Structure 1
Protein backbone atom coordinates (compact mmCIF):
# COMPACT_ATOMS: atom_id res chain seq x y z
CA UNK A 1 0.00 0.00 0.00
CA UNK A 2 1.46 3.33 -1.02
CA UNK A 3 0.80 6.85 0.20
CA UNK A 4 -0.52 7.72 -3.26
CA UNK A 5 -3.15 4.99 -2.95
CA UNK A 6 -4.19 6.28 0.47
CA UNK A 7 -4.26 9.83 -0.89
CA UNK A 8 -6.49 8.62 -3.74
CA UNK A 9 -8.83 6.91 -1.25
CA UNK A 10 -8.97 10.17 0.69
CA UNK A 11 -9.80 12.06 -2.49
CA UNK A 12 -12.57 9.56 -3.31
CA UNK A 13 -13.93 10.02 0.22
CA UNK A 14 -13.60 13.82 -0.03
CA UNK A 15 -11.22 13.84 2.96
CA UNK A 16 -8.09 15.97 3.06
CA UNK A 17 -5.26 14.03 4.69
CA UNK A 18 -2.09 15.49 6.18
CA UNK A 19 1.30 13.82 5.75
CA UNK A 20 1.11 12.45 9.29
CA UNK A 21 -2.31 10.96 8.60
CA UNK A 22 -1.06 9.44 5.35
CA UNK A 23 1.80 7.73 7.23
CA UNK A 24 -0.52 6.51 9.99
CA UNK A 25 -3.26 5.26 7.66
CA UNK A 26 -0.76 3.55 5.37
CA UNK A 27 0.65 1.50 8.25
CA UNK A 28 -2.83 0.77 9.65
CA UNK A 29 -4.13 -0.47 6.30
CA UNK A 30 -1.03 -2.65 5.88
CA UNK A 31 -1.74 -4.18 9.31
CA UNK A 32 -5.37 -4.80 8.34
CA UNK A 33 -4.33 -6.50 5.08
CA UNK A 34 -1.80 -8.65 6.98
CA UNK A 35 -4.56 -9.69 9.40
CA UNK A 36 -6.88 -10.56 6.51
CA UNK A 37 -4.08 -12.65 4.97
CA UNK A 38 -3.84 -14.52 8.28
CA UNK A 39 -7.59 -15.17 8.22
CA UNK A 40 -7.33 -16.45 4.64
CA UNK A 41 -4.87 -19.16 5.78
CA UNK A 42 -7.33 -20.71 8.25
CA UNK A 43 -8.50 -24.12 7.09
CA UNK A 44 -12.26 -24.35 7.40
CA UNK A 45 -12.84 -27.65 5.64
CA UNK A 46 -12.46 -29.65 8.86
CA UNK A 47 -14.28 -27.17 11.11
CA UNK A 48 -17.56 -28.27 12.59
CA UNK A 49 -20.49 -25.86 12.27
CA UNK A 50 -21.57 -24.17 15.48
CA UNK A 51 -24.94 -25.35 16.68
CA UNK A 52 -27.41 -23.17 18.57
CA UNK A 53 -27.22 -23.74 22.30
CA UNK A 54 -30.71 -22.46 23.02
CA UNK A 55 -33.89 -23.95 21.76
CA UNK A 56 -36.30 -21.64 20.01
CA UNK A 57 -38.92 -22.47 22.63
CA UNK A 58 -36.63 -20.94 25.30
CA UNK A 59 -36.54 -17.53 23.61
CA UNK A 60 -38.87 -14.71 24.58
CA UNK A 61 -42.15 -14.46 22.66
CA UNK A 62 -42.16 -12.07 19.74
CA UNK A 63 -44.78 -9.47 20.62
CA UNK A 64 -45.49 -6.16 18.95
CA UNK A 65 -46.17 -3.00 20.95
CA UNK A 66 -47.48 0.36 19.79
CA UNK A 67 -44.87 3.12 19.68
CA UNK A 68 -46.28 6.14 21.47
CA UNK A 69 -43.83 8.82 20.28
CA UNK A 70 -43.82 10.75 17.02
CA UNK A 71 -40.44 9.60 15.64
CA UNK A 72 -40.65 11.45 12.32
CA UNK A 73 -42.35 14.62 13.53
CA UNK A 74 -45.34 14.17 11.22
CA UNK A 75 -48.02 13.98 13.89
CA UNK A 76 -48.83 17.72 13.95
CA UNK A 77 -48.40 18.35 10.20
CA UNK A 78 -51.55 18.68 8.13
CA UNK A 79 -50.13 16.84 5.12
CA UNK A 80 -48.42 14.07 7.14
CA UNK A 81 -45.12 14.43 5.25
CA UNK A 82 -41.63 14.89 6.66
CA UNK A 83 -40.14 18.29 5.88
CA UNK A 84 -36.43 18.15 5.04
CA UNK A 85 -33.88 20.86 4.31
CA UNK A 86 -34.25 22.79 1.09
CA UNK A 87 -31.99 21.53 -1.71
CA UNK A 88 -30.58 24.32 -3.85
Structure 2
Protein backbone atom coordinates (compact mmCIF):
# COMPACT_ATOMS: atom_id res chain seq x y z
CA UNK A 1 0.00 0.00 0.00
CA UNK A 2 1.26 3.44 -0.92
CA UNK A 3 1.03 6.03 1.83
CA UNK A 4 0.51 9.77 1.53
CA UNK A 5 3.88 10.26 3.17
CA UNK A 6 5.56 8.27 0.38
CA UNK A 7 3.83 10.34 -2.29
CA UNK A 8 4.71 13.53 -0.43
CA UNK A 9 8.35 12.41 -0.28
CA UNK A 10 8.27 11.57 -3.99
CA UNK A 11 6.85 15.01 -4.79
CA UNK A 12 9.66 16.56 -2.75
CA UNK A 13 12.26 14.54 -4.68
CA UNK A 14 10.92 15.74 -8.04
CA UNK A 15 10.42 19.27 -6.71
CA UNK A 16 6.68 19.67 -7.22
CA UNK A 17 4.23 21.02 -4.71
CA UNK A 18 1.02 19.06 -4.23
CA UNK A 19 -2.13 20.30 -2.59
CA UNK A 20 -3.92 18.03 -0.12
CA UNK A 21 -6.47 17.12 -2.82
CA UNK A 22 -3.72 16.27 -5.31
CA UNK A 23 -1.87 14.26 -2.68
CA UNK A 24 -5.00 12.21 -1.99
CA UNK A 25 -5.78 11.75 -5.70
CA UNK A 26 -2.22 10.76 -6.68
CA UNK A 27 -1.92 8.37 -3.75
CA UNK A 28 -5.02 6.54 -4.96
CA UNK A 29 -3.86 6.60 -8.59
CA UNK A 30 -0.42 5.24 -7.76
CA UNK A 31 -2.03 2.51 -5.67
CA UNK A 32 -4.22 1.53 -8.65
CA UNK A 33 -1.20 1.49 -10.96
CA UNK A 34 0.69 -0.79 -8.58
CA UNK A 35 -2.32 -3.13 -8.35
CA UNK A 36 -2.44 -3.32 -12.15
CA UNK A 37 1.30 -4.03 -12.37
CA UNK A 38 0.88 -6.79 -9.76
CA UNK A 39 -1.91 -8.23 -11.91
CA UNK A 40 0.38 -8.19 -14.96
CA UNK A 41 3.01 -10.07 -12.95
CA UNK A 42 0.60 -13.00 -12.55
CA UNK A 43 0.32 -13.62 -16.32
CA UNK A 44 1.89 -16.90 -17.35
CA UNK A 45 4.08 -16.31 -20.40
CA UNK A 46 6.09 -19.51 -20.54
CA UNK A 47 4.00 -20.90 -23.41
CA UNK A 48 4.09 -17.69 -25.48
CA UNK A 49 6.69 -17.53 -28.22
CA UNK A 50 8.65 -14.30 -28.41
CA UNK A 51 7.96 -12.07 -31.37
CA UNK A 52 10.96 -11.79 -33.67
CA UNK A 53 11.77 -8.59 -35.50
CA UNK A 54 11.09 -8.72 -39.24
CA UNK A 55 13.83 -6.22 -40.12
CA UNK A 56 17.52 -6.65 -39.64
CA UNK A 57 19.67 -3.73 -38.56
CA UNK A 58 21.39 -3.86 -41.94
CA UNK A 59 18.02 -3.07 -43.59
CA UNK A 60 17.78 0.28 -41.81
CA UNK A 61 19.20 3.48 -43.23
CA UNK A 62 22.60 4.56 -41.94
CA UNK A 63 22.59 7.12 -39.17
CA UNK A 64 24.36 10.17 -40.53
CA UNK A 65 24.76 13.10 -38.14
CA UNK A 66 23.81 16.55 -39.41
CA UNK A 67 26.56 19.12 -39.46
CA UNK A 68 26.68 21.75 -36.76
CA UNK A 69 26.81 24.60 -39.26
CA UNK A 70 23.56 23.55 -40.89
CA UNK A 71 21.82 23.46 -37.53
CA UNK A 72 23.19 26.85 -36.48
CA UNK A 73 22.12 28.44 -39.74
CA UNK A 74 18.59 27.16 -39.17
CA UNK A 75 18.02 29.32 -36.08
CA UNK A 76 17.44 33.03 -35.91
CA UNK A 77 19.21 33.30 -32.53
CA UNK A 78 22.88 33.06 -33.46
CA UNK A 79 25.94 35.18 -33.01
CA UNK A 80 29.50 34.55 -34.21
CA UNK A 81 28.79 30.92 -35.10
CA UNK A 82 27.09 30.15 -31.77
CA UNK A 83 23.47 29.69 -30.82
CA UNK A 84 22.26 32.34 -28.38
CA UNK A 85 20.09 31.27 -25.49
CA UNK A 86 18.49 33.04 -22.54
CA UNK A 87 20.83 34.37 -19.89
CA UNK A 88 21.31 31.93 -17.03
CA UNK A 89 22.19 33.37 -13.66
The structure richer in strand per residue is 2
The reply on whether 1:38 has 2:35 as its aligned counterpart is no
What is the count of residue pairs matched by the alignment? 80
- Give every structure 1 segment of 4 or more consecutive aligned residues whose post-TM-superposition deviation is greater than 6 Å: none
Structure 1, gaps ≥5 residues long? none
Q: Output the aligned Cα RMSD.
A: 3.0
1:3–1:22 CA contact under 8 A, matched in 2:
yes
Structure 2, gaps ≥5 residues long? none
**Alpha-carbon separation, structure 1, partners of 2:43 and 2:4:** 30
Deviations 1:61-88 (Å, cap 9, x if unpaired)? 9599x98x81xx168633x211122221
TM-score (norm 1): 0.69
TM-score (norm 2): 0.68
Query: How many angstroms does 1:49 deviate by?
Result: 2.0
